Amino acid sequence: MHRSSLLLVACAAVLTRANPVGLRDAQTAVVDFSNKTGTPEHFASGLLYGVPDAKDQIPPSFFKDIGYNYERAGGAQVPSPGRGWIWGLDEYKNRFSSVLSNYRSAREFDANFIFLIHDLWGADGSQNSSASYPGDNGDWSSWDTYLDHVVADMESNQMIDGMIIDIWNEPDLSIFWNRDQNQYLQMWGRTYHRLRNKFGTSIQLSGPAFSAEPSLSNAWWKNWCSFVSSNSSVPDQYAWHMEGGGGDMLSSQAGLLSLLKTYDLPARPININEYGIYDEQVPAGSAWWISQFERINAHGLRGNWLSGYALHDFMASLLSKPGAESDYSNTSTGYFPNGDYQVYKYYNLNMTGTRVGTVPSGDMKLDAYAVVGEDGWARVLVGVRISTGTWNLRLDSLSSLGLPEEGTLSVHTWGFPVAENVHYGEVDGPTDLGWNDHDYSEDSVSFPVYQKDKSTAYAFEFRINND
């Protein structure tokens, strides 16, 4: 099929998918309680780095309470003498020990671990302009020897369960890959087959982890799709990043689907293994991202905007501790949660039961994640994407919850604020904002979401009749 007609087909598919409730209102998000979409797995509870090298330095309950299920690390920014392979074997070994301790911490919680082998190589963004890359001048010997060490160290330390190797992080940015795309694709093909031949499917392979969203107008994506198709090196997870401060998961998933169709590639799970800019790492932003991932069953790992040892601490800006911002000690403890942490805790511990389908507002600002609990309550978490104003939330098919088709719905509201010192200030739980009664008819109730700041998320709870 010609590419432009494919684009039309893909766009039509997006419209149909994003528009199941008729004409979409620009400022109304909708929950359809009759549309059951499965058991919560808290798809958004993954972290990029954020874990100290010392075991249990962060008390385990902080990880358990958010349903932590994905970790991604490779020893980035461990200083000299731990700068990775391009600085020699000893610096490789020191960096590897950070990877091993992060892997073991993740497995303590049964979290999957995405191994960043580009960081262990030394291309963590801090490498100098004369740093070497795999395959420079057509010579692959250093990369092949490096992989010998990685494979041997994974085997001798039993780093197999829950292991996913990300072949190279953000090669479309010169700070991580300062070479052309052809050299990258050769590296991809070599590495994929080397690891698959060695480990079979006992570990998963992931990529391309581009900084750019999938799209038929992105050359890195098109060339990569074309290459993996002809090279038989399609990864087990399609991974990319959502850290541009724009974009959304419906359009970016549609971009992937159009590429898969064009290059005749198979469907695979999606993993956004870095999501959210620093300003979005507040309750409103996190609730928005949670809703986006839950809708399409994509895994998400919080991006990490800290550096140095702080990169290996604070659960990607969900925790703080005394002296966290200044006078920083990487080994000190005394952790406490920030406001954003409370969203993930509620998402994991309180939003149990069965998920139901939701649709974001037409302007993509308000999004919602909703569940029907077995405890006789329905719960809806909403987040506005870093904007102020008034949006609406509409709850459809109330009769599917055993409620009458008209009447008055009493809704209990929780606010999830941040402390004044946003990412570092302590917040110990949501704020009880009381009850509101809403009259409704025709099996549907609407009420406004007043977003007066750019950070607070809200949860709405009401009793159902599920006897």
Ligand X SMILES: *[C@@H]1O[C@H](CO)[C@@H](O)[C@H](O)[C@H]1NC(C)=O
| Of 265 and 277, CB closest to ligand X | 265
The residue among 298, 218, 295, 296 whose CA lies nearest residue 263 is 218
Q: Is 232 in the site for ligand X (CB under 6 A)?
A: yes
Q: Does 206 bind ligand X (CB under 6 A)?
A: no
Closer residue to ligand X, CB minimum distance, 52 or 235: 52
Using the rule CB under 6 A, give the single segment among 52-60, 111-119, 165-173, 251-259 that binds ligand X: 52-60
Cβ neighbors of 347 (< 8 A, separation 6 or more) are 42, 44, 45, 66, 67, 290, 369, 381
Q: Of residues 24, 295, 299, 321, which one binds ligand X by CB under 6 A?
A: 295
372 and 353 Cβ atoms separated by less than 8 Å: yes
**What residues numbered 421-460 form the site for ligand X, per CB under 6 A?**
430
To ligand X, the closest distance from the beta carbon of 262 in angstroms equals 20
Binding positions for ligand X, 86-115, rule CB under 6 A? 86-87
Residue span binding ligand X (CB under 6 A) among the ranges 247-255, 344-352, 419-427, 445-453:
344-352
In 47-113, which residue ranges form alpha helices assigned H by DSSP? 60-65, 89-108
Least gap, CB of 152 to ligand X (angstroms): 21
- What's the closest the beta carbon of residue 358 comes to ligand X, in angstroms? 6
The answer, yes or no, to whether the previous bond of 81 is cis (omega within 30 of 0) is yes
At 263, list the tokens.
């290059």
| Whole-number Å distance between alpha carbons of 445 and 396 | 7
Nearer residue to ligand X within complex by CB, 231 or 400: 231
**Which alpha helices (H) appear in 299-390, and where do they start and end?**
339-349
Region from 65-73, 126-134, 262-270, 435-443 binding ligand X, contact rule CB under 6 A = 126-134
Measured from the CB atom, the residue of 250 and 277 that comes closer to ligand X is 250
Nearer to ligand X, 78 or 242 (CB): 78
Alpha-carbon span 185 to 222, nearest angstrom = 12
Only segment of 128-136, 140-148, 211-219, 364-372 that touches ligand X (CB under 6 A): 128-136
Q: Which pairing describes strands 46-48 and 299-302: parallel, antiparallel, or unpaired?
A: parallel
Write phi, then psi, for 134 (nearest 5 degrees). Answer: -55, 130
Cα distance between residue 374 and residue 356, in whole Å: 13
**Could you tell me which of 265, 159, 170, 156 has the C-alpha nearest to residue 213?**
170
Q: 147: exposed, middle or buried (C-beta count within 10 Å: 0-12, 13-18, 19+)?
A: buried
Q: Does 183 bind ligand X (CB under 6 A)?
A: no
Q: Indicate the residue among 245 and 429 with the shorter CB distance to ligand X.
A: 429
Task: Tell me how far, at minimum, the Cβ of 166 lies from ligand X, in Å.
Answer: 18
- Residue ranges in contact with ligand X by CB under 6 A: 17, 20, 32, 35, 37, 52-54, 86-87, 122, 127-128, 130-131, 186, 189-190, 193, 231-233, 295, 309, 312, 330-331, 346, 349-350, 357-358, 414, 430
